[in-house]
Chain A
């Protein structure tokens, strides 16, 4: 499913961002990346623009055309918290392991 098809209020996890460089990297820098939980808060009257909430914290706005290039996996509210729980319990995430010298 594409992000542009997600209904208002529904949550999803981003699976892939298939955009050209450098826009793809700008999206990543602003928080739209694989593994991010995304919710559509609002759409403009013409549905040209989407108002998104990322990981239940920051908000951004993008065009519907670009949202059509973002693949998502819809989740319901309960699943969303489970997703967070998994990360915080295991200190694991969807990305490769990293090294932090303590």
Chain B
């Protein structure tokens, strides 16, 4: 077995760490052009002849003084985990600012490599960066790369191995004399403790303490050296601030790092200042004070139009293929359990889910474009003032929009919100943003009850209604339970970038694979379970009495009617029928029959299961319509008012088990977990009931 080299990939947000790992390996890490795409550490393995390289992609961190929960993940890893090399990725476009973190990392005195990414963008501006000089000045290897064009990527692996084999370089970065004197003073005190015998480690801890790092302060707090170190530290705080006329030692160290970074930039970067560029011209339109918001709403409307209109064609083709397969198999296979399980259980269920894959992919494609071009941050900027009026922070826009894709990563994206109150409110209303898995139910019901030319608008209205409801609830939560103002909005606006077609393709391919895998495993198994529960136990007496009646009837119409009656009665007497009848009273006021009620409950496992359950139950319950598409079956069995009530239930009620587990993992307080589990379901039922009664009252 090869020896393993553990590499920590560290850098400020949006410098292309994940893109770099994808370029170095076959990994398919999610990438985007905005701050906070990666919010948890991810491990990727790269094999070479002699070594296995384990790379840990850490969330972006501006400085070692972590500010948000996702930055704390990166900081905790750097301070507490075992690794051999730090691979510090910086953005060539903002090198000076990125070097601020580099200088803090150099204080750690670990083996380190600097990767200057996005060098292609500097070269496109006819600029250059002197990697050799930067390497000499910093005392660590420097590689110029572009994850987009794969420039310099091969060099990274080689440099990792060389650095691993080489001995640790001496420190080359020092602060000004007054600061260095204090660092030395504190280092000496710390070295008295057996925990800080290593001089370099003691120096790092001393710097972090002068930098008022709370996490490091907590480390020494419980050690015997604390009293002596604390006294020296207090003296350093007061003497340094007085001598250098600053408010805090944090300002002093920060200013020193700025000076070093600035000089490094001057020494190594050669770039001409640009006049008004394309980026600004696009910004002039997209973030226009008046046109900005309507343009954003137009983009979202266009996305939902495309999702329905464009997705409709492949959807119908896939649906027809499955219907044909089911009908053919029903004819070919001998009557019995296998025939029934396949043609009335598994195939309709998988068909009901897979046929919506094109729509889901179009939606994800649009959201991916939003993420990769850099428009996401602009939209957050435009929405901040609006969101603030509803008690949300502008940064909450990112998890809220991500929620249109999948609620699980959206909950995790809420880690970018520093204030715990902002974070809980955002997570509590995230369920109102309809995820991709709910799309099949919407398209099914819209397809059954609305004309095709209105379908895209109805879909857009559903998503917007969900978002508006979410905002109203955020306001209520802020006023009633989470008093106070949201955290101030501060967000980096990355330059616009053309989306990476490879990243787009990889992301969509990965989602397709996962979706089909889910359909072929979890949903097929769920469908088999639903089919079993809705087929058994057999009532032989009932079947026999109907068979006699059917045999004695010559009229084909009556024969069909009797067959349908038998199927419906068998279904009602099945296990599922009993379960459905038990649940039915809860949903009866919404006009749901027991089959719809069961589908809604089954949807708690995964939202796609709603359509697969409906497909199975309406197939088992109707012997003569195997050849009819699901949309047709729904049209025949569900009233318009109940369909609208079902839409509202699906839009608001609890998300899937996976999303709920993520919420429980992110929010440790039991009170919020209980609240989150109950309130969306109560709200969903009340809204659905209100709309159902209103529609009935106006005579629909």
Give residues in A with beta carbon < 8 Å to B: 21-23, 25-31, 33-35, 41-46, 48-49, 51, 55-63, 65-66, 81, 84, 87-88, 91, 93, 95-102
Contacts and interface: CB of A to CB of B under 8 A. Distances in A.
A42 B378 CA distance: 11
A66 B248 CA distance: 20
B662 interface: no
B489 A56 contact: no
Contacts of A33: 254, 258
A57 B490 contact: no
B391 to A, nearest CB: 14
Contacts of B384: 44, 48-49, 61, 63
B137 A100 contact: yes
Given A21-B250, A29-B65, A61-B489, 18 more contacts: A22-B67, A23-B488, A25-B63, A29-B62, A29-B67, A30-B97, A30-B490, A35-B258, A44-B292, A51-B287, A60-B490, A60-B492, A61-B493, A97-B176, A98-B175, A99-B176, A100-B173, A101-B174
B490 A66 contact: yes
Contacts of A61: 377, 380-381, 384, 394, 489-491, 493
Contacts of A59: 492-493, 495
Interface string B377-397: 100111011001000001000
Nearest to A64: B385
B95 to A, nearest CB: 9
Contacts, number: 143
Given A26-B67, A56-B273, A97-B176, A102 B136 contact: yes
B137 A98 contact: no
Given A56-B273, A65-B488, A100 B263 contact: yes
B219 interface: no
B464 interface: no
- Considering residues A55, A96, A98, which has the most beta carbons from chain B within 10 angstroms of its beta carbon? A98
Given A25-B65, A29-B100, A98 B176 contact: yes
A62 B491 CA distance: 7
Interface of B: 62-63, 65, 67, 93-94, 96-97, 100, 136-137, 139, 172-176, 244, 248, 250-251, 254-256, 258-260, 262-264, 266, 273, 280, 283-284, 287-290, 292-293, 377, 380-382, 384-385, 388, 394, 488-493, 495
Contact of B280 (A41, A55, A100): A41
B263 A58 contact: no
Q: Is the interface of B mostly helix, strand, loop or mixed?
A: helix
- Considering residues B139, B262, B491, which has the most beta carbons from chain A within 10 angstroms of its beta carbon? B262
Contacts of A97: 176, 259
A79 to B, nearest CB: 15
B262 A41 contact: no
Given A51-B287, A97-B176, A27 B490 contact: yes
B493 A51 contact: yes
A31 to B, nearest CB: 5
A9 B173 CA distance: 38
A60 B176 contact: no
B63 A62 contact: no
Contacts of B174: 99, 101
Contacts of A46: 385
A56 B266 CA distance: 15
A72 B381 CA distance: 23
Given A29-B62, A30-B62, A44-B381, A102 B490 contact: no
A5 B382 CA distance: 20
Contacts of A58: 93-94, 97, 492-493
B259 A96 contact: yes
Nearest to A33: B258
A30 B492 contact: yes
Contacts of B263: 91, 93, 98, 100
A34 B246 CA distance: 12
15 contacts: A34-B255, A42-B283, A42-B284, A44-B381, A44-B385, A57-B94, A59-B493, A61-B489, A62-B488, A87-B266, A88-B266, A98-B176, A98-B260, A99-B176, A100-B264
A49 B254 contact: no
B132 to A, nearest CB: 13
Contact of A48 (B388, B490, B491): B388
A91 B260 CA distance: 11
A20 B142 CA distance: 36
B93 A49 contact: no
A62 B406 CA distance: 28
B488 A102 contact: no
Contacts of A27: 490
A69 to B, nearest CB: 10
Given A48-B388, A51-B287, A100-B264, A95 B489 contact: no
A98 B259 contact: yes
Nearest to B252: A96
A78 B342 CA distance: 77
The 5 nearest A-B residue pairs measured at CB:
A48-B385, A95-B259, A59-B493, A29-B62, A98-B259
Contacts of B284: 42
